Amino acid sequence: MELVIGTKAWSTWSLRPWLALKRTGASFKEIEIALRRGDATTADIAAHSPSKLAPALKDGDLVVWDSLAICEYLAETFPDAKLWPTDPALRALGRSAAAEMHSGFQSLRGECPMALNEAPRKLDISEATQKDVRKIVERWNQLLNRSGGPFLLGEWSIADAFYTPVATRFRTYEIHLSDYGDAGAAGAYAERLLETPEFLEWERAAKG
């Protein structure tokens, strides 16, 4: 397998399937393409993916070019990795949470981009972004309280891959979850995401 990704310091969409693929234990080739170069970036990615966007997974003659689709493909290809829980209710909730992140929280995305190569700094975020943060805290607590943790669905899953970039944003822009309702287990969960071996490996490369 080959995974085409964007610059590790910035590409949240690349980080998500990379974490999932690492969790499978499968060997793969990583192709990192520098972002923010305009047409040059587009042309480089187009050589690998019909979407002309990163990430893309290449498995033989198959190309899967959406981060959530890649994760679902990995879950089906490597069932022993248990990227989704066997419990159907938890699995449905996890898919709902991942899809919510996949399509939502636009203000947080725009105002607080992932920047693993930058030192933490306090950012006064807009009301729209504060609303996103409150909703994320609420969602995390709902899932953690139901599953019992330590991750959203109990064991690590694709849902956690989708929220790992969010935890980096909270750290980079010094967004304290206790300021946005009862953080409860959510605060510890955010820290836990940034302590997984897979994320730490990605972060070291991003800073290198």
Give the pLDDT band (50/70/90) at residue 47: very high
Proportion of the chain above pLDDT 70, given as a percent = 99
Contacts of 66 (CB under 8 A, 6+ apart): 51
Predicted pLDDT of residue 184: 76
List the structure tokens of 167.
């935890």
- Mind listing the pLDDT tens digit for each residue in 125-151? 999 999 999 999 999 999 999 999 999
**Average pLDDT estimate for 65-72:** 98
Pick from 83-92, 141-150, 158-167, 174-183: least confident: 174-183
Separation between Cα atoms, residue 120 and residue 75, nearest integer Å: 34
**Average pLDDT estimate for 170-191:** 90
Residue carrying the six token digits 């923010």: 36
Predicted pLDDT of residue 83: 98
Predicted TM-score (pTM) of the model is: 0.96
Predicted pLDDT of residue 180: 85
**Average pLDDT estimate for 68-77:** 98
Say whether pLDDT at 160 is over 90.
Answer: yes
Say whether pLDDT at 183 is over 80.
Answer: no
Say whether pLDDT at 192 is over 90.
Answer: yes
Residues facing 83 on adjacent strands: none
Residues facing 151 on adjacent strands: 154
Predicted pLDDT of residue 1: 98
Predicted pLDDT of residue 99: 97
Positive/negative CA dihedral, 107, 6, 167, 99: positive
Specify whether the CB–CB gap between 83 and 76 falls below 8 A.
no
Proportion of the chain above pLDDT 90, given as a percent = 96
